[in-house]
Amino acid sequence: MYRRTFAEINLDHLAHNIRVLQTSFPDAPFLCPMVKANAYGHGDVQLARFLETLGIKHLGVCLIEEGLLLRHFGVKAEILVFRGFDREGAEKIIQYRMTPVVTTWEQIDHLEEVAKSPVNIHLKFDTGMNRLGFRPEEAQKLYERLWQNKKIRVKALVTHLYNGEDAISDQGNSADQLRRLHQASEIFKPFEIFSHALNSAGILNLLKLRKEHKAEHPLLLQNWGLRPGLMIYGYNPVPGVNCDLKPVMSLKSVVNTFRHLKAGETVSYGGTWKAKQDSVIAVVPIGYADGYHRILSNQSHALFNGVRVPLVGNICMDYLMLDVTEAVRGKDLVQYKDQEVVLFGQDSFGNFLSPEELAGKAKSITWEMLTSVGERVPRVYTGADASFVIENVGGE
């Protein structure tokens, strides 16, 4: 690493978050961590291999390509491919023993055409997201087509909450979502197989319902399978629901240089920040090309030697600047040589700066802050099992 900018991935925290799920839902019919989008930026091959050691048997990806990568690096777990596929994709899915989440009649045709022996599928229904999946009215026809089908075995039914954050409420969109979930539960019954529906928000709301001992609620209608994404990476998307999650990723860098500015001088392109006093500016080698959103220019903070300091001036492609005047006042700058900076996550003093805070300022969401962390930022794995991840990523 010639530029010391990296994303630290704490495997102990990931293991903790998985344990929270495993102990909270010991009877879940299905626990499928979502490792799509490079495991939300955390490194999909490494995390998939590690999740397998925690007893995880299913992993969710969006693209066939993502599944192929996992197989190439020796991941043995069942891989669910959520995005759909054409005929060629069907061949790859079968060849690499992945499980397609089927969302159209055309996909059923493709599988029947290419399958030489029965292929297991999950069948997805649309309950209001209006993105992918069969309409509930199609359930009967699907049942007739797939019941005792020689090429296709339906192993599970799938749906996705479009308003999971608000899944408990019975107002507005939430009322509509709950009505549709209720309807889905009904049409799923003849299939006599398990179904999965819950993302992190759904899971956290379910925990809340259980604590409140509310028995009559569509989330409790059946033992839904779980597809957690954000929460396994340590973030809770439902305000007001308590759950002991630990953040997995910290985005870090090391100060490149310090600049001494006279009052009135400006920083970075366009001179959008002007020093009100003689100032010390830390130049940090991470920029928007690394996924630190430019919209945060003059908006956000970072942790510098345990202190929150403001980001000043426009964020560049490869750099951003911090006003560290107060943090270093009266000190010799020599002591800050190679000073670590935390852009989000935890510093060595135990301070925490949340990507949720950055997301709020960037008019974004935590999911986007994590998945934005760029390809040229190395992922550094820490925790008791880090050596397993580093040493055991072998090819098939």
Ligand X SMILES: Cc1ncc(COP(=O)(O)O)c(C=O)c1O
Q: Which residues bind ligand X (CB under 6 A)?
A: 34, 82, 160, 199-201, 227-231, 367
Cβ–Cβ < 8 Å for 352, 10: no
Given the residues 211, 214, 269, 331, select the one marked as catalytic: 269
Please enumerate, by residue number, every residue annotated as part of a binding site for substrate: 131, 317
**Across the strands, what pairs with 48?**
none
The least distance separating ligand X from the CB of residue 138, rounded to whole angstroms, comes to 19
Tally of CB atoms within 10 A around 315: 26
The least distance separating ligand X from the CB of residue 9, rounded to whole angstroms, comes to 17
The least distance separating ligand X from the CB of residue 21, rounded to whole angstroms, comes to 11
Give Cβ neighbours of residue 75 (< 8 Å, ≥ 6 apart).
45, 48, 49, 52, 59
Query: 34 or 255: whose CB is closer to ligand X?
Result: 34
User: How do beta strands 119-124 and 152-158 pair?
Assistant: parallel
Looking at residue 294, the DSSP 8-state letter turns out to be G
How far is it, in rounded angstroms, from Cα 38 to Cα 19?
21
How far is it, in rounded angstroms, from Cα 145 to Cα 147?
6
Reduced 3-state DSSP string for 212-257: CCCCCCHHHCCCCEECCCHHHHCCCCCCCCCCCCCCCEEEEEECCE
Query: 231 or 321: whose CB is closer to ligand X?
Result: 231
Strands (E), 262-306: 266-267, 273-274, 279-284, 301-304
The least distance separating ligand X from the CB of residue 236, rounded to whole angstroms, comes to 10
Given the residues 36, 124, 208, 252, select the one marked as catalytic: 36
Q: What are phi and psi of 162, to 5 degrees?
A: -95, -5
Query: 364 or 392: whose CB is closer to ligand X?
Result: 364
Q: Is 143 a known active-site residue?
A: no
Cβ–Cβ < 8 Å for 125, 134: yes
The least distance separating ligand X from the CB of residue 199, rounded to whole angstroms, comes to 3
Q: What are phi and psi of 230, to 5 degrees?
A: -50, -40
Query: 24 or 392: whose CB is closer to ligand X?
Result: 24
**Across the strands, what pairs with 82?**
none
The least distance separating ligand X from the CB of residue 291, rounded to whole angstroms, comes to 18
Q: Which position's Cβ is nearest ligand X?
A: 229
Does residue 198 sit in helix, strand or coil? strand
Q: Is 233 a known active-site residue?
A: no
Please enumerate, by residue number, every residue annotated as part of a binding site: 131, 317
Residue with tokens 């495993």: 22
Query: 93 or 230: whose CB is closer to ligand X?
Result: 230
Query: 227 or 301: whose CB is closer to ligand X?
Result: 227
Active site residues: 36, 269
